[in-house]
Chains A and B, each alone.
Chain A
């Protein structure tokens, strides 16, 4: 973890020193930089997710066909993935690669805002650029709040700002979750399926969980959460994948079955509803989301 953490700590401290010793600005810029660097992985994750979604009708047909034979179902699923050139873990692997990066980003903020001797001793071995120690300790006060402490909710103006930060964390987390959620796939009986129901629940639980974190963790981390969420929303919007309609419950459902051949990353078009066939020479019809 130090291989990632130490450069992050160094970068964050460097940004602080060149941005007028402004810790909040340094956190904002640092978060944006790291999220931008992670963009290729984010895009890859999204593409994989989209491809998987397009195969849902085919997968559902397989599940119905082999509902009493789990092993056969698994085999057929893997065969289909291979045929369409989809890695079923393609959405997860970028996430797993990104995870230590985001953990390091989060930990870097905690380390740099060293609030006590134990933390400051730990910081001493992490700055890779000589001379940065002249910035230590970093100014951890912002609008009367200590960035290393949780928001103080009994302290006049600090209360308003503290509550505002918590609300922003909840709201931005909620918005990011909603706009990055793929449109629901209608089931045969018109009711949301179990996976969708679980996703809906996550959309409620996650923002509340992050709101709780914001109450318990340092103000600096809350700022990181807010900026990270906003950058995530912006990235999806720029990729044309943000489903803002989901915010108001008007997200267009995904089609039950594609009207033309599904186009899969890296493979020529394959006919819809006919698993197992090799690709034909017909051009694919791109579906709009």
Chain B
């Protein structure tokens, strides 16, 4: 075939293919910058899920979108007579916004949502309506959830600062400037704000004034929220370590991992459960000044494990970038069940337990992916049976 084809045409075809490939490589492949966030809100409880171009509320019983109702409880209808669902989208003068962080509950009628495109929106919660379509300009991108208290709002920016705002007017009170940005939610304990930064430092600040109490170099970027448990802080770093830290800023214990640690650990009954980006899962007994493995670290997944493991009874539930969900024995680390997903599991898992207000039959774990076919998937905790899927 090539012999018969004129050489010039063949060279032109090859050159065109080269240019096309080069252009494709230059343009790159669009992808969401980060994963979605779930939170349980309201009464009866609903799953609020922020991802990509919208925020929705999903019924935890069956995964259906929550319908809008008027003050008398009647379902609101659109012009075609279809039920309106609770869904927030923005299409203001700046174009459609994208949402990846948890909305901030201002009061029972109002939410604040930070969009990735550096804008903040006020939302009428019952009506799912954005009150300021053009948004309020922010100083940078936000990839981590802001922390809201009764009086303050702490907003972490991915390029550098953490800004403390006083409620209700949201006036700026103080700012923490870090050279590499903050990709995790701060933690407030007894008036001290703990902030983990990509600049390798864990900061302890006076929550009211922003005065620095101490900072600790943990020899690797920190992308996860510290966990406060029985008087100490626990956190993992890209430096391949789990740390136990005293409130005074000293490292009490540390444990070396195989891969970078991104997600926050889970602490239950004196045992730290965590995972790393090489797919290893750890169960470490906290024995004061050292960690000892409950069982040998296991490479459970072939992809990164970013999310915090869910601990439910004697089961450890893990989601991985290799598009799998794993159920492990908390006691032995042995794999019990695995389930195939369509998309990568990078967002945090949500554990739901039956209660008077949450009308579900049995404990379930809800998983988010970055794939439209399986944005949210609910499994039973015990057997990993798939209960429902929310898709777009």
Contact = CB atoms under 8 A, between A and B. Distances in A.
Nearest to A93: B14
A91 B4 CA distance: 19
Interface string A15-51: 0000000000000000000000000000000000000
A77 interface: yes
B28 interface: yes
Interface residues of B, number: 47
Contacts of B216: none
B143 A124 contact: no
A189 interface: no
Given A71-B4, A124-B304, A134 B223 contact: no
Nearest to B259: A124
A163 interface: no
B14 A133 contact: no
Interface in B206-240: 219-221, 223, 238-240
Nearest to B32: A118
B223 A117 contact: yes
B26 interface: yes
A120 interface: yes
A89 B10 contact: yes
Interface in A91-106: 91-92, 95-96, 99, 102-103, 106
Given A120-B223, A125-B277, 13 more contacts: A71-B4, A78-B3, A89-B10, A107-B25, A116-B158, A117-B183, A121-B277, A124-B262, A133-B238, A133-B260, A134-B219, A137-B180, A213-B26
A252 interface: no
Contact of B238 (A73, A89, A91, A136): A136
Interface string A55-89: 00000000000000011011101100000000011
12 contacts: A70-B6, A92-B11, A103-B22, A117-B183, A118-B346, A119-B33, A124-B260, A125-B277, A133-B260, A137-B198, A146-B159, A195-B8
Nearest to B260: A124
B31 interface: yes
B221 A136 contact: yes
Contacts of A107: 25
B327 interface: no
Most chain B beta-carbon neighbours within 10 Å: one of A91, A107, A137, A213 = A137
A7 B79 CA distance: 58
Interface size range on A against B: 35 or more
A103 B24 CA distance: 10
A139 interface: yes
B321 interface: yes
Contacts of A134: 200, 219-220, 239
Contacts of B141: 116
A222 B221 CA distance: 27
B21 A103 contact: yes
Interface string B307-350: 00000000000000100000000000000000000000010000
A121 B31 contact: no
A247 B115 CA distance: 49
Interface of B: 3-8, 10-11, 14-15, 18, 21-22, 25-26, 28, 31-35, 141, 143, 158-159, 179-181, 183, 198, 200, 219-221, 223, 238-240, 259-260, 262, 277-278, 304, 306, 321, 346
A118 B223 CA distance: 12
B14 A92 contact: yes
Given A133-B238, A134-B239, A95 B33 contact: no
A110 interface: yes
A117 B33 contact: yes
A244 interface: no
A193 to B, nearest CB: 12
B26 A217 contact: yes
A29 B183 CA distance: 30
B6 to A, nearest CB: 6
B346 A106 contact: no
Given A92-B15, A103-B22, A134-B220, A118 B304 contact: no
Nearest to A98: B18
A133 B240 contact: yes
Most chain B beta-carbon neighbours within 10 Å: one of A92, A96, A106 = A92
B18 to A, nearest CB: 6
Contact of A116 (B8, B143, B239): B143
Contacts of B277: 121, 124-125
Contacts of B32: 118
B90 to A, nearest CB: 20
A106 B304 contact: no
